[in-house]
């Protein structure tokens, strides 16, 4: 038998430790939560992606009574960025969420499995890491790459 250990590094920063560009990205993700359409879960998520040229694109979760028909904030932002700016790689992503009381979460949330797969392919398509910032009021988790969120990835090499 062989054992494999998978480890990722997560840096936890406070807002005053962020760069001005990181602060701007966090602010845009937080703002995007207010554009969420979440009449069923009342859980509002916002995402902001920073492209290589500095452009920031946002997205928010969009629910539907037929639950599988909705879309997460991360995919909304990534798909819009890919459609509107196809030649600009995504370099950084921030996710923020508000609870059913409208308050920002203390602990950061991370992307669901479907979003992780979409983000991984966005990272692979452009050949560079996408840094991830997960916002929480008690701290912002900074993760080097989407690959760190999905270490045993499924990709085109299996097809």
The catalytic residues are 74
Q: Are 145 and 116 in contact (CB under 8 A)?
A: no
| Contact yes or no for 80/57 (Cβ under 8 A) | yes
Query: In whole angstroms, what is the distance from residue 122 CA to residue 127 CA?
Result: 9
Q: Three-state SS for 41?
A: coil
CB 88 within 8 A of CB 52: yes
Report the SS3 class of residue 51.
strand
Residue identified by tokens 């991370």 is 110
> Which of 35, 46, 52 is closest to 134 using CA atoms?
46
Q: Which residues contact 151 (CB under 8 A, 6 or more apart)?
A: 6, 8
């Amino acid at each position: 038998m062989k054992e494999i250990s998978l480890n990722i590094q997560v840096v936890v920063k406070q807002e005053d430790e962020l760069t001005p560009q990181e602060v701007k990205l966090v602010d845009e993700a937080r703002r995007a939560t207010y554009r969420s359409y979440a009449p069923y879960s009342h859980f509002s998520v916002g995402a902001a992606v920073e492209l290589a040229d500095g452009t920031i694109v946002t997205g928010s979760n969009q629910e539907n009574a037929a639950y599988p028909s909705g879309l997460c904030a991360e995919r909304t932002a990534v798909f819009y960025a890919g459609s509107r700016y196809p030649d600009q790689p995504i370099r950084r992503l921030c996710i923020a969420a508000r609870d059913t009381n409208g308050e920002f979460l203390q602990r950061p949330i991370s992307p669901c499995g479907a979003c992780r797969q979409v983000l991984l392919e966005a990272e692979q398509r452009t050949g560079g890491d996408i840094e991830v910032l997960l916002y929480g009021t008690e701290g912002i988790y900074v993760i080097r790459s989407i690959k760190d969120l999905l270490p045993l990835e499924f990709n085109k090499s299996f097809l």
